[in-house]
Every structure is written in structure tokens, then in C-alpha cells.
């Protein structure tokens, strides 16, 4: 269902009227297209808290954005970059990366303010601010305090920056292990990801990567891929080179076949709640698979007082129990090849709670618990990472069925003042499924335009 308010505010009279009435002013987001695959402008690399020891410059240079590095009040072009101008240049940067990993006390935290205060206003529309932080040091409560302070800083800046710009925090210790994450956050692919804190380990099981077609030669299975978000995920993974298996229920077999044919993949008709679903997937893919996307999900909303047991159990079965069962079965059979990726679909309703969704909220919080617990073991025992995306309000058939006023509230109650598109969840999923994302494990990343619901 089209967002008419967004179309209206894109017109001059619409902008004028809504500004006069003090209503939300959503900016049209720049998303990835083949013609415009990267951000349009330069990247400004700043440091707070002294030199951090991260070898960031070569990684930033490989984003393809002309980079200017600012240190001690000067701005210079960096490796591979053709940057000109300074922070006070005529056109603002398309992206700012602030390396704050060296911030260890409150005085150094002032450098975060000093670095970003003069440049934030000039960041281009649909631009990116990425703050880099260090893991919290359990033996140094001053370092832990100010590194945690970065989260409140980033989330607050995300809420005030406007104009379709996003602000995220990455906790890392090694720049090259975080390359896929930085490329994602510094690209139009992350248009609807804001206010997130993403942890990246020092290393991951990554091999050589073709950045243009990273999933070439890999097989990806997407559950619930006949339509909606799952279809967009299948499409994006196929665009990245994967052979995609489109799984959906028998009632959606025709749509599943149509999607599979369009993507050069194959269709698998299966109700994921079947007790032997994992075994049947393994039998269908005797050579194994590389990417498993648990996307199938349903809602059966009612307040708890009115909810029959059947509504409870059907949601828990599709959204959580089947994810647990098929994951266990496929890992036990060794069906996921080393270097494999599992991405499950949670929801902000599971992180923040939602009236009328005790069943759905429980199931989606369960997905987050599954991811956090299984991730270290799946990596140690199978070389497989396990992460989740947690979509907010995404424009699909599921949300088109939501009553008008709740739908409008869902669309506007986030920092970007609009709903996301299935492709936003798909691009985030593809980043987590990327062969170079092995150091990203056990993360639950919200794709919600920084919804006001939950943290």
C-alpha cells in the first residue's frame, strides 16, 4: 500500500504545508541501484581520543569513496582517495567515519563532540555517520563508561540528524575484519538501518571475496520467499550471485515457482512446520547449502485475554519452533557447509513488545535468544555464523493489513519518518550472509529506521 503522505511531502506544497503544521518531514531515501551503487560524495575520516591503532585508511579507501582524513585540524587526501577541500568545503561529505576506539575517559569523550559538532550539519542528505567504538573493557570502568556513552550519543544523534541521514556505531578491534560491515553501512544499501550498535569480532572465517558477486557458487535457501520480504531477500541474494532455493507452503507453490524461475533458482514446496522439514531440505540439497535464511513468519494478533491456544501455538510453531527444529536438523546433518551463514528474522515487536502480539513478540524475542546462544557454538563447531535481522515497519502485505491509524503511526514513529521497503531488510540480510562477514556473529540488527519502539 503506497505511502501517500511520503509522496505528498515530496512536493513543494506538501513540504510547505507539513512544515507549517509541524508534521513529520520524511526525506526520500537514496537506495542502491545499479546506476548509483555508492554514496554520492566524499568520506570524511575523523579521530577522537588519539590514534587508535586501527589500520582503517586502506579499508575506507576500498569503499570507493574519495576520502579525506582529518587529524589535528588539517584535512588531507588519503590513500586511493582524490579528496579535495576540508570539512568547511562547499559540499558536505556523503559520509563521516569517526574513529573513537581510543576514547578512554570523559575528557577524551569531549573530542567526539569537537569532531562532529562542526561537520554534522553539512553531511549530505541520505548521508552516513558511522562511529567506531572499542569493546567495553571489563577491567577499566572509565573506558567502559565512555565507550557505552557512545551508544547514547549515536542513538540521540540518529534521532535528531534528519534528512534521511543515518547514524550507527560499530564496535571493533580490527578494521579488515569489519570491511564488509563498513562497506554496507557506508553504502545506499543500509538506507533504513539507523541507531544500531553492531559488534564485529577480531577475525572471522573469511576467504577471498569477489565484492561484486560475493555469493557466486553458493546455494542459499530462503523460507517464505514466495512474496514480501522473503522474495526480496531471494532476489538480492541472487543478484549477489547465489543459486537461490525459494521455499514456501503448498498454497503458495505457484508464486514460489514464479519467483524461482525469475531468479534462475529452484522452488521447494514445504510447510516449514513439518516435523521432518530439516531432513527434507537436506535431502533436496545433497551437496549442502551455504546460506540459510529463516524468513517465513505469521501473525495471529489478539490481546492475551482473547487469544485462543491455537493462535498462540501456530505463531510460536512457524516463527520459533520450526526455526529451532530446522536449524538443529541441518547443523546435525552437516548440511551447512563451513563458512555458512544463518540469518533468522526477528522483529522489533519481539524486542520492544506490542499490544495484541504476545504470541508474535514471544516468538521473535525467542529468535533473538536462539541467535545469541547458538552463534558462538555454531561458529566453533561448524564454522557457521548465526545472526538476526529485526525489521520494524516494512511495507508488505503483512503491514498493509494493519488498521489505518496504527499503520500511519508505524510508518511515522521512527527517525526516518517512513516505513522501510522489503529490499532494506534484504540488503541487511545479504550483508550478514556475505562471505566476508564471518566476524559478525550473534548480532541482532534492527532494520527499522530507528523506530521509537524499544532501544
- Which candidate in 5, 192, 240, 360 is catalytic? 360
* Cα–Cα distance for residue pair 412/436, rounded to 1 Å: 34
223 contributes a contact to ligand NAD by CB under 6 A? yes
With 0-12 CB in 10 A as exposed, 13-18 as middle and 19+ as buried, what is 16? exposed
234 contributes a contact to ligand NAD by CB under 6 A? no
* Cα–Cα distance for residue pair 95/122, rounded to 1 Å: 10
Contact pick of 195, 297, 438, 442 for ligand NAD (by CB under 6 A): 297
324 contributes a contact to ligand NAD by CB under 6 A? no
User: Least CB distance from residue 90 to ligand NAD, whole Å?
Assistant: 40
User: Least CB distance from residue 444 to ligand NAD, whole Å?
Assistant: 12
E strands, 356-416, where? Answer: 385-391
User: Least CB distance from residue 292 to ligand NAD, whole Å?
Assistant: 13
Give the number of other CB atoms < 10 A from CB of residue 142: 12
* Cα–Cα distance for residue pair 53/104, rounded to 1 Å: 14
Nearest Cα residue to 96 out of 114, 78, 122: 122
Helix H or strand E segment including 290 = strand 289-294
Q: Which stretch binds ligand NAD (CB under 6 A): 2-10, 82-90, 185-193, 246-254?
A: 246-254
1 contributes a contact to ligand NAD by CB under 6 A? no
Contact pick of 136, 145, 307, 398 for ligand NAD (by CB under 6 A): 398
396 contributes a contact to ligand NAD by CB under 6 A? yes
Local structure of residue 318 (DSSP, 8 states): I
Nearest to ligand NAD of 184, 393 (CB atom): 393
For residues 285 and 334, is the Cβ–Cβ distance under 8 A? no
Nearest to ligand NAD of 95, 426 (CB atom): 426
254 contributes a contact to ligand NAD by CB under 6 A? no
In a 3-state reduction of DSSP, which class is residue 340? strand
For residues 429 and 236, is the Cβ–Cβ distance under 8 A? yes
Q: Which stretch binds ligand NAD (CB under 6 A): 103-111, 202-210, 221-229, 300-308?
A: 221-229
For residues 109 and 149, is the Cβ–Cβ distance under 8 A? yes
User: Least CB distance from residue 361 to ligand NAD, whole Å?
Assistant: 11
249 contributes a contact to ligand NAD by CB under 6 A? yes
Q: Which stretch binds ligand NAD (CB under 6 A): 154-162, 164-172, 227-235, 237-245?
A: 227-235
Q: Which stretch binds ligand NAD (CB under 6 A): 28-36, 105-113, 270-278, 426-434?
A: 270-278
298 contributes a contact to ligand NAD by CB under 6 A? yes
What's the CA dihedral at 237, 238, 244, 250 to 10 degrees? Answer: 90
User: Least CB distance from residue 338 to ligand NAD, whole Å?
Assistant: 27
Write out the DSSP string of 247-306. Answer: EE-GGGHHHHHHHHHHHT-EEEE--TTSTTHHHHHHHH-TT-EEEEEE-------B-GGG
228 contributes a contact to ligand NAD by CB under 6 A? yes
Nearest Cα residue to 192 out of 3, 418, 37: 418
252 contributes a contact to ligand NAD by CB under 6 A? yes
* Cα–Cα distance for residue pair 123/27, rounded to 1 Å: 14
* Cα–Cα distance for residue pair 444/455, rounded to 1 Å: 12
375 contributes a contact to ligand NAD by CB under 6 A? no
- Please confirm, yes or no, whether 360 is among the known catalytic residues: yes
User: Least CB distance from residue 438 to ligand NAD, whole Å?
Assistant: 24
For residues 91 and 125, is the Cβ–Cβ distance under 8 A? no
Binding site for ligand NAD (CB under 6 A): 223-224, 226-230, 248-249, 252, 271-273, 295-298, 318, 345, 347, 391, 393-394, 396-399
User: Which residues are catalytically annotated?
Assistant: 360
Amino acid at each position: 500500500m503506497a505511502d501517500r503522505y511520503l509522496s505528498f511531502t515530496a512536493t513543494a506544497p506538501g513540504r510547505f504545508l507539513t512544515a507549517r503544521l509541524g508534521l513529520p518531514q520524511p526525506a526520500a531515501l537514496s537506495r542502491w541501484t545499479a546506476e548509483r551503487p555508492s554514496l554520492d560524495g566524499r568520506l570524511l575520516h575523523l579521530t577522537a581520543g588519539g590514534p587508535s591503532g586501527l589500520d582503517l585508511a586502506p579499508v575506507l579507501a576500498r569503499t570507493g569513496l574519495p576520502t579525506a582524513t582529518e587529524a589535528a585540524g588539517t584535512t588531507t587526501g588519503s590513500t586511493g582517495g582524490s579528496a579535495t577541500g576540508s570539512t568547511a568545503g562547499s559540499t558536505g561529505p556523503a559520509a563521516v567515519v569517526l574513529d573513537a576506539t581510543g576514547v578512554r575517559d570523559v575528557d577524551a569523550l569531549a573530542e567526539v563532540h569537537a569532531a562532529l559538532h562542526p561537520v554534522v550539519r553539512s553531511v549530505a542528505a541520505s548521508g552516513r555517520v558511522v562511529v567506531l567504538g572499542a569493546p567495553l573493557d571489563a577491567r577499566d570502568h572509565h573506558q567502559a563508561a565512555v565507550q557505552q556513552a557512545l551508544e547514547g550519543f549515536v542513538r540521540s544523534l540518529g534521532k535528531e540528524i534528519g534528512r534521511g541521514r543515518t547514524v550507527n556505531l560499530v564496535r571493533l578491534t580490527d578494521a579488515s575484519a569489519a570491511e564488509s560491515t563498513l562497506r554496507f553501512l557506508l553504502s545506499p544499501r543500509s538506507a533504513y538501518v539507523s541507531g544500531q550498535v553492531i559488534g564485529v569480532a577480531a577475525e572471522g572465517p573469511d576467504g577471498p571475496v569477489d565484492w561484486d558477486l560475493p555469493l557466486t557458487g553458493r546455494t542459499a535457501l530462503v523460507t517464505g520467499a514466495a512474496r514480501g520480504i522473503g522474495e526480496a531477500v531471494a532476489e538480492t541474494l541472487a543478484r549477489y550471485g547465489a543459486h537461490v532455493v525459494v521455499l514456501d507452503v503448498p498454497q503458495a507453490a505457484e508464486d514460489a515457482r514464479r519467483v524461482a524461475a525469475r531468479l534462475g533458482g529452484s522452488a521447494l514446496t514445504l510447510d516449514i512446520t513439518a516435523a521432518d522439514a530439516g531432513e527434507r531440505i537436506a535431502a533436496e540439497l545433497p551437496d549442502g547449502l551455504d546460506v540459510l535464511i529463516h524468513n517465513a513468519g505469521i501473525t495471529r494478533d489478539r490481546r492475551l485475554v482473547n487469544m485462543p491456544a491455537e493462535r498462540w501455538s501456530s505463531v510460536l510453531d512457524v516463527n520459533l519452533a520450526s526455526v529451532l527444529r530446522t536449524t538443529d536438523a541441518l547443523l546435525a546433518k552437516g548440511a551447512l557447509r563451513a563458512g555458512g551463514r544463518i540469518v533468522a528474522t526477528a522483529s522489533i515487536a519481539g524486542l520492544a513488545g506490542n499490544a495484541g502480539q504476545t504470541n508474535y513478540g514471544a516468538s521473535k524475542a525467542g529468535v533473538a535468544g536462539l541467535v545469541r546462544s547458538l552463534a558462538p557454538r555454531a561458529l566453533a563447531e561448524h564454522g557457521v555464523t548465526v545472526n538476526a535481522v529485526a525489521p520494524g515497519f516494512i511495507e508488505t502485505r503483512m503491514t498493509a493489513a494493519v488498521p489505518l491509524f496504527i499503520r500511519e503511526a508505524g510508518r511515522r514513529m521512527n527517525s526516518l519518518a517512513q516505513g522501510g521497503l522489503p529490499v532494506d531488510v534484504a540488503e541487511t540480510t545479504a550483508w550478514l550472509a556475505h562471505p566476508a562477514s564471518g566476524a559478525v556473529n550473534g548480532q541482532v540488527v534492527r532494520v527499522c529506521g530507528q523506530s521509537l519502539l524499544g532501544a
